[in-house]
């Protein structure tokens, strides 16, 4: 078990019986649905220097759909007019349409729209990636958008800012759970009941959930504002997925490979992504002129070994942590089982690809290498919740018992916080870090999954800094601590204190996104926080600002807080 495991199972500290914050009784009017056949908006994605994918869905499949691309917002200079075939896999009378637009110029903004008869879609803005000298490039990064958990204000904040050259979505674009499961407590009040109401299992289920997301006006605005690159984590298929199964998949739900492939077919149908072959091996790299190489990883479905769980630890929760034999058992388990060199998260083929991309970037003289990554790469030891929490909280935990109390006691053994992250694959991480060090390739990692903001110093086993990692909080998904009413207990500071020299910053409650601005000399990271997700009226503030200066003589520089 881990904190994430407990939360997904609806337990964690508050959900296991600690006092919960009272829910307000405000009711909400449903968001009006867009008129006409283009109710699902438009989107563009997977850009390179001369092309990008454009996407829409229509609710009247009998007529032909025409794409127009122009160099100006008023479409006075239309450079492309062509029919776009539907994908033929409609759901609820909505049919996705997608095509690759080619022959474009590097580093330019284009405008596109779709027509069907007299109906015209919303206008989308797309950008090709730059070529040659680049003085500045800005990325907005998102993760973990659970539709019933709240409103997509982070997407709206990004769209309103209008300053992103590219959007990265780092996974958990949607969730597979049904009504009555994770983060659905307020779904009816918000008029955000998941569609379908049961857990997603087959193509039609996943497609209907994608269609529901696509109707959200705030997500539509963010998609129309600029081009996206998306990578999946687990919930696009099933919780804690790996190469041959998932925690949220059992024998009664059919063959895993069938469910996986149908989920990915819906993903490719309903998002502006290039087709991957095989579909589960979606990783790659793109060039941002002479400024950076962006490498997007696949850490779930292609090669990931089955997750090791905390309940597999070879001691019981009531074991004395000062017992030398128990300590030796845990240390051996962490070294020999969790640290087994055969355990993979990328796989050799992807690792080789990444290594070549890193070497090519260094040889080209680019100052930056950016990983788009699903789960935390840095090493994080879980705080000791027995010694670091107040007596009253330990008393309540012990009285409740169960998984939460068991986990709290096991943290006395200095266990990793998340075995589902790279901490569950330390040998593969060591291989990646060694490859980067040999190439002289420092990097910045943007990571999703945890529903927290993080800043981490990435170091190898010898203390060599390979780069910095910035964890992106969620759009709406609750963090592990939002269920806990524990005044005066600073869980974020506990994580920082338990990981001196590794964890630089943590915020367990904020919702929002990350704005990364690259220049030849520095990478500036702004953690952007929205004030609330329980209603659509919100404000925006900077949670914190960070700067990573360009490497000096091949030595990665630490992240420095700027505000």
Strand 453-459, strand 443-447: pairing: unpaired
pLDDT at res. 27: 53
Bridge partners (DSSP) listed for residue 454: 471, 506
Dihedral sign computed on CA atoms, order 356, 362, 366, 372: positive
pLDDT in tens, 427-452: 999 999 999 999 999 999 999 999 99
Dihedral sign computed on CA atoms, order 485, 486, 490, 494: negative
List, in sequence order, every beta strand (DSSP E) within 260-341.
284-288, 292-296
Q: List C-alpha distances in Å: 525 to 335, 421, 554.
A: 34, 22, 21
Q: Helix or strand or coil: residue 86?
A: strand
pLDDT above 90 covers a percentage of the chain that reads: 87
Domain with CATH 3.60.21.70 in the chain: 3-18+42-47+129-553
Query: Residue 25 — φ and ψ, nearest 5°?
Result: -105, 10
Q: Whole-angstrom Cα distance, residue 515 to residue 139?
A: 6
The structure tokens listed for 422 are 């790279």
Dihedral sign computed on CA atoms, order 166, 167, 169, 170: positive
Evaluate if residue 1 carries a pLDDT over 50. no
Query: Residue 421 — φ and ψ, nearest 5°?
Result: -90, -170
Q: Whole-angstrom Cα distance, residue 23 to residue 33?
A: 27
Evaluate if residue 12 carries a pLDDT over 50. no
The structure tokens listed for 537 are 């009226």
Instruction: Let me know: does 413 contact 385? Beta carbons within 8 Å.
Output: no
Bridge partners (DSSP) listed for residue 159: none
Query: Residue 486 — φ and ψ, nearest 5°?
Result: -135, 80
Instruction: Let me know: does 509 contact 418? Beta carbons within 8 Å.
Output: no
pLDDT at res. 379: 97
pLDDT in tens, 291-331: 999 999 999 999 999 999 998 999 999 999 999 999 999 99
**Domain 48-128 falls in which CATH fold?**
Immunoglobulin-like (2.60.40)
pLDDT band for position 19 (cuts 50, 70, 90): very low
Q: List C-alpha distances in Å: 349 to 100, 279, 302, 433, 439.
A: 27, 15, 10, 16, 18
pLDDT in tens, 197-239: 999 999 999 999 999 999 999 999 999 999 999 999 999 999 9
Degrees, nearest 5: CA angle 393-414-306: 105
Helices of type H across 1-108: 3-8, 12-15
pLDDT in tens, 266-298: 999 999 999 988 999 999 999 999 999 999 999
Q: Helix or strand or coil: residue 7?
A: helix
Q: Whole-angstrom Cα distance, residue 226 to residue 552?
A: 33
User: Average pLDDT, whole number, for the chain?
Assistant: 93
Helices of type H across 191-344: 203-214, 217-225, 256-270, 324-332
DSSP code at position 249: -
pLDDT at res. 144: 98
Nearest to 4 by CA among 505, 503, 481: 481
The structure tokens listed for 405 are 């109390």
Instruction: Let me know: does 398 contact 10? Beta carbons within 8 Å.
Output: no
pLDDT above 70 covers a percentage of the chain that reads: 95
Burial class, 364, CB count within 10 angstroms (exposed 0-12 / middle 13-18 / buried 19+): exposed
Instruction: Let me know: does 5 contact 480? Beta carbons within 8 Å.
Output: no
| N-terminal to C-terminal alpha carbon distance within the chain | 36
pLDDT at res. 485: 67
pLDDT in tens, 33-69: 888 999 999 999 999 999 999 999 999 866 799 999 9
Starting at the earlier edge strand, list the strands of the sheet with 540-549: 95-101, 52-58, 42-45, 228-230, 166-169, 137-142, 511-518, 522-530, 540-549, 559-561
Helices of type H across 411-471: 426-439
The structure tokens listed for 290 are 């002479």
Neighbours of 138 (CB within 10 A): 17
Burial class, 85, CB count within 10 angstroms (exposed 0-12 / middle 13-18 / buried 19+): exposed
pLDDT in tens, 325-358: 999 999 999 999 999 999 999 999 999 999 999 9
DSSP code at position 112: E
Q: Whole-angstrom Cα distance, residue 40 to residue 426?
A: 42
Q: Whole-angstrom Cα distance, residue 442 to residue 465?
A: 8
pLDDT in tens, 119-144: 999 999 999 999 999 999 999 999 99
pLDDT at res. 481: 86
CATH architecture of the domain with residue range 3-18+42-47+129-553: 4-Layer Sandwich (3.60)
- Answering whether pTM is above 0.85, one says yes
């Amino acid at each position: 078990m881990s904190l994430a495991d407990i939360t997904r199972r609806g337990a964690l500290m508050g959900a296991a019986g600690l006092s919960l914050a009272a829910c307000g009784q405000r009711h909400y009017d449903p968001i009006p649905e867009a008129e006409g056949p283009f109710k699902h908006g438009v989107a563009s994605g997977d850009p390179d220097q001369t092309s990008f994918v454009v996407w829409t869905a229509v609710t009247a499949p009998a007529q032909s759909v025409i794409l127009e691309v122009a160099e100006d917002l008023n479409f006075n200079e239309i450079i492309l007019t062509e029919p776009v075939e539907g994908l033929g896999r409609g759901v609820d009378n909505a049919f996705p349409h997608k095509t690759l637009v080619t022959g474009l110029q590097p580093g330019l903004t284009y405008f596109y729209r779709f027509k069907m008869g007299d109906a015209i879609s919303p206008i989308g803005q797309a950008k090709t990636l730059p070529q040659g000298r680049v003085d500045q490039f800005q990325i907005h990064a998102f993760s973990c958008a659970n539709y019933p958990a709240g409103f997509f204000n982070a997407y709206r904040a990004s769209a309103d800012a209008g300053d992103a050259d590219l959007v990265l979505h780092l996974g958990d674009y949607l969730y597979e759970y049904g009504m009555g499961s994770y983060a659905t407590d307020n779904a009816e009040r918000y008029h955000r009941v998941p569609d379908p109401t049961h857990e997603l299992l087959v193509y039609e289920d996943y497609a209907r959930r994608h269609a529901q997301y696509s109707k959200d006006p705030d997500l539509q605005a963010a998609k129309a504002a600029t081009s996206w690159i998306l990578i999946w984590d687990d919930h696009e298929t099933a919780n804690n997925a790996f190469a041959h199964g998932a925690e949220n998949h059992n024998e009664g739900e059919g063959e895993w490979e069938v469910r996986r492939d149908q989920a990915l077919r819906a993903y490719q149908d309903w998002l502006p992504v290039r087709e991957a072959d095989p579909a589960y091996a979606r990783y790659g790299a793109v060039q941002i002129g002479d400024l950076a190489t962006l490498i997007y990883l696949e850490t779930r479905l292609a090669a990931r070994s089955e997750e090791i769980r905390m309940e597999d630890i070879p001691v019981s929760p009531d074991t004395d942590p000062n017992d030398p034999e128990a300590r030796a058992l845990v240390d051996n388990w962490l070294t020999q089982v969790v640290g087994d060199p055969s355990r993979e998260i990328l796989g050799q083929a992807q690792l080789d690809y990444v290594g070549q991309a890193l070497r090519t970037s260094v040889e080209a003289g680019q100052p930056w290498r950016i990983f788009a990554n699903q789960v935390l790469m840095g090493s994080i030891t879980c705080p000791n919740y027995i010694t670091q929490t107040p007596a009253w909280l330990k008393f309540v935990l012990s009285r409740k018992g169960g998984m939460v109390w068991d986990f709290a006691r096991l943290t006395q053994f200095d266990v990793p916080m998340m075995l589902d992250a790279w901490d569950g694959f330390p040998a593969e991480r060591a291989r990646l870090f060694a490859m980067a060090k040999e190439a002289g390739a420092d990097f910045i990692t943007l990571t999703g999954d945890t529903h927290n903001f993080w800043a981490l110093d990435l170091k190898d086993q010898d203390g060599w800094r390979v780069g910095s990692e910035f964890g992106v909080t969620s759009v709406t998904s609750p963090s592990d601590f939002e269920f806990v009413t524990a005044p005066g207990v600073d869980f974020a500071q506990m994580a920082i204190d338990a990981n001196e020299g590794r964890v630089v910053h943590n915020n367990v409650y904020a919702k929002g996104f990350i704005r990364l601005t690259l220049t030849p000399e520095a990478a500036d990271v702004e953690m952007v926080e929205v004030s609330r997700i329980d209603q659509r009226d919100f404000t925006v503030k900077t949670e914190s600002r960070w700067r990573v200066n360009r490497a000096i003589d091949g030595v990665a520089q630490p992240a420095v807080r700027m505000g």
